[in-house]
Amino acid sequence: MTDGPAAAPPIGTHGLDWLDDEGPDGDIVVSSRVRLARNLQGYSFSAHATGEEREALLEKARAATEAAGVLQEADFWEISRLDRVDRLLLLERRLVSKELIGKPDAGPRRGAGLALSRARTLGMMVNEEDHLRLQTLRGGFQLAAAWRDLDQLDEEMGARLPYAFHQEFGFLTSCPTNVGTGLRASVFIHLPGLVLTRQIRKVLEGMGQLGVTYRGLYGEGSRIVGNLFQISNQTTLGKTEEDLIDQLERLVGRVIGYEKQARAVLLREAPNVLEDKVWRAYGILCHARSLPFEEMMNLLSGVRLGISLKLLKSPRVDVISRMMIHAQTAHLARAAGRRLDEADADAFRASYVRRALA
């Protein structure tokens, strides 16, 4: 039911199955993601290649996808053949980057593509900054499992496509910050306790010294909303993939520990204030008639905290995660079946949230 000219499969509920598995520490870690940057020998990097070269590369990637076991049941989209809302749906699900879908006025680059497995959230962007960006997403704190899935996809693609590899520098990438393993692992983590007790800056600064970086909801340069942080490894060269995953896992494990301590302090020192904050957030979400996205995210943060601390019996944590996806503007517009201006979207969001919490 896409209204674009594409003969591609509809976006539907693609790429959302990670939500079915809350995963370990799912009340604090929303999701775990790993991606690998890969490029092919004999082609300029995507930004430097001609439209014809990028299209040739897209076809090679498509053929390899069809032959690869782990992606055999995959759907493949040419981004330029998707309509604007579909492109934004993919972005809001964090299956594509802003760079892949292009600027709203300019649209995507020629040859931009996305492959996505049906069974799992395992996929591949084509002609992003690098020729291939293999990626996987899982619910909760499961970096090692995510890496195992991705490693398998990498082996299969590498056997079918000639990767650009250098004995000293490893897998070659368009930007030298990704070279070597090409691996970026990240967790999307909810840290209201550390924010409320004002320890967050100290923790984030400490991480910076350990080769780990953080960003907001939509990646590089984006703002922190709803006490949600993306924590990822900063360096990609000089360590094995397993070491990078392991180091990030241990560090995130410590951050989870600090977050739990902060929550315990809040419960002990200011239980009434905390409980009031949680219930107020829940109350506003249940009754508001207009909800801007950021306000909703901040209120959902309170509710997620309330669930985690057992101050609220319902909803379940995955209901909150689903709302964070489905109450974004493109998802609302798709559900409404029409374009929504800001005021429309805020009203539509409030009504969606009331129903989801009813």
List interacting residues with another protein (CB under 8 A).
Answer: 39, 41-45, 47-48, 50, 53, 129, 154, 158-172, 174-177, 179-181, 183, 195-198, 200-201, 204, 211, 213-216, 220-224, 235-241, 243, 266, 269-270, 273, 277, 294-295, 298
How many Cβ atoms sit within 10 Å of the Cβ of residue 290? Answer: 14
Residue 170: CB atoms within 10 Å:
16
By beta-carbon proximity to another protein, the closer residue of 277 and 331 is: 277
Tally the C-alpha atoms within 13 A of residue 227's C-alpha that lie toward its C-beta: 22
Q: With respect to another protein, which residue has the nearer C-beta, 150 or 320?
A: 150
Q: How far is the CB of 246 from another protein (least distance, A)?
A: 13
In angstroms, give the least distance from the CB of 239 to another protein. Answer: 6
- The kind and range of the H/E element at 345 are helix 342-357
Residues whose CB falls within 8 Å of the CB of residue 263, separated by 6 or more in sequence, listed in order = 192, 193, 305, 308, 309
**Rounded least distance, CB 291 to another protein, Å:** 13
CB nearer to another protein: pick between 68 and 82: 68
Q: Return d(Cα 72, Cα 153) in angstroms, integer.
A: 11
Q: Which residue has the tokens 């909800």?
A: 291
Q: Which is nearer to another protein, 24 or 292 (CB)?
A: 292
Residues contacting residue 36 through CB under 8 Å, at least 6 positions apart? 132, 133, 134, 135, 150, 154, 171, 181, 182, 183
| Minimum distance from residue 172 beta carbon to another protein (Å) | 4
Judged by beta carbon, residue 214 or residue 282, the one nearer another protein is 214
Q: How far is the CB of 116 from another protein (least distance, A)?
A: 22
Structure tokens at 164: 């650009």
What's the token pair of residue 110? 């020629």
Q: Report the nearest approach of another protein to the CB of residue 166 (Å).
A: 6
Q: With respect to another protein, which residue has the nearer C-beta, 43 or 76?
A: 43
* Among 97, 130, 95, residue whose Cα is nearest residue 12: 95
